[in-house]
């Protein structure tokens, strides 16, 4: 099983963002996770295209961009142009999900789909063979620092079974409330990619925390 770690810059110190990016560059982390929120699809606003363009200039690892916005299909090329390597959209936000996934891939990015906590795994049935990443939200999206929803473990297990049964090559990514108390269980359940912000950026030694999250006891 793969073990990737994608620190979420939503929890970084934006007054010292260059230092935070360099820390991730020099750590065992694999991706930069970037949450784009519009204040409509989720009840918060984060950052957008200009910030991602600036991050790309310093980042030495792939940018894993998670769009928590309505009508994401309108902005796919813009995110590609500023440096997104992976682009993930919500099942709940896309009227024509297959077309959106296809366009992401045509633009040369890895394509991902996200499920909110209330959305069943069955929503993946017709799209799973076409995506590179399935992102399971283990908190309600919109804010960092929330408590992990325990039923997400069963959801991840169901997703792993579906991937194996269909022959999909999709990675399972999980985001929300992840720390050293649940990292090992998440890997065991079938997760490939852990996304965590607060646990990394509020640690006394973020680089060591990244190491521990990739190698939980």
Domain count of the fold of the chain: 1
Q: What does the alpha-carbon distance between residue 172 and residue 162 come to, in Å, rounded to a whole number?
A: 11
Residue written as tokens 């490939």? 192
**pLDDT-based confidence at 43, cuts 50/70/90?**
confident
Instruction: Using the predicted structure, report yes or no on whether residue 99 has a pLDDT greater than 70.
Output: yes
Mean pLDDT within 107-114: 98
Instruction: Answer for the pair 40, 74: CB distance below 8 angstroms, yes or no.
Output: no
Residue written as tokens 């789909």? 113
Question: CATH number of the domain that 86 lies in?
Answer: 3.20.20.70
Instruction: Say what the pLDDT of residue 143 is.
Output: 66
Give one word for 60, left, alpha or beta, with left for phi > 0 and alpha for psi -120 to 50: alpha
**pLDDT-based confidence at 142, cuts 50/70/90?**
low
Mean pLDDT within 25-54: 94
Catalytic (active-site) positions: 35, 175
Q: What does the alpha-carbon distance between residue 112 and residue 101 come to, in Å, rounded to a whole number?
A: 7
What's the domain range around 193? 4-214
Instruction: Answer for the pair 34, 55: CB distance below 8 angstroms, yes or no.
Output: yes
Phi, psi for 199 (deg, rounded to 5): -60, -35
> 17-25 vs 49-58: helix axis angle to the nearest 10?
50
Residue 205, burial from CB neighbour count under 10 angstroms (0-12, 13-18, 19+): exposed
Mean pLDDT within 128-141: 94
% of the chain exceeding 70 in pLDDT = 98
Measured at the alpha carbon of residue 175, what is the angle toward residues 171 and 180, in degrees to the nearest 5?
A: 105
Instruction: Answer for the pair 45, 39: CB distance below 8 angstroms, yes or no.
Output: yes
């Amino acid at each position: 099983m793969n073990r990737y770690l994608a620190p979420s810059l939503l929890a970084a110190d934006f007054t010292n963002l260059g230092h935070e990016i360099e820390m991730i560059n020099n750590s065992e982390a694999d991706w930069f996770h970037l949450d784009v929120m519009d204040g409509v699809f989720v009840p918060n606003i984060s950052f957008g295209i200009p910030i991602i363009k600036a991050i790309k200039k310093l980042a030495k690892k792939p940018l894993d961009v998670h769009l928590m916005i309505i009508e994401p299909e309108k902005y796919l090329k813009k995110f590609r142009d500023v440096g997104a390597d992976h682009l993930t959209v919500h099942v709940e936000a896309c009227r024509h999900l297959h077309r959106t996934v296809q366009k992401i891939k045509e633009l040369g990015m890895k394509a991902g789909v996200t499920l909110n906590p209330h959305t069943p795994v069955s929503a993946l049935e017709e799209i799973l063979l076409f995506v590179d990443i399935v992102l399971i939200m283990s908190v309600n999206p919109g804010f960092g620092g929330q408590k992990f929803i325990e039923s997400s473990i069963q959801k991840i297990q169901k997703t792993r079974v579906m991937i194996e049964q269909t022959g999909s090559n999709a990675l399972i990514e999980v985001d929300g409330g992840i720390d050293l108390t649940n990292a090992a269980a998440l890997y065991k359940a079938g997760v490939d990619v852990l996304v965590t912000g607060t646990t990394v950026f509020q640690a006394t030694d973020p680089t060591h925390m990244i190491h521990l999250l990739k190698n939980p006891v």
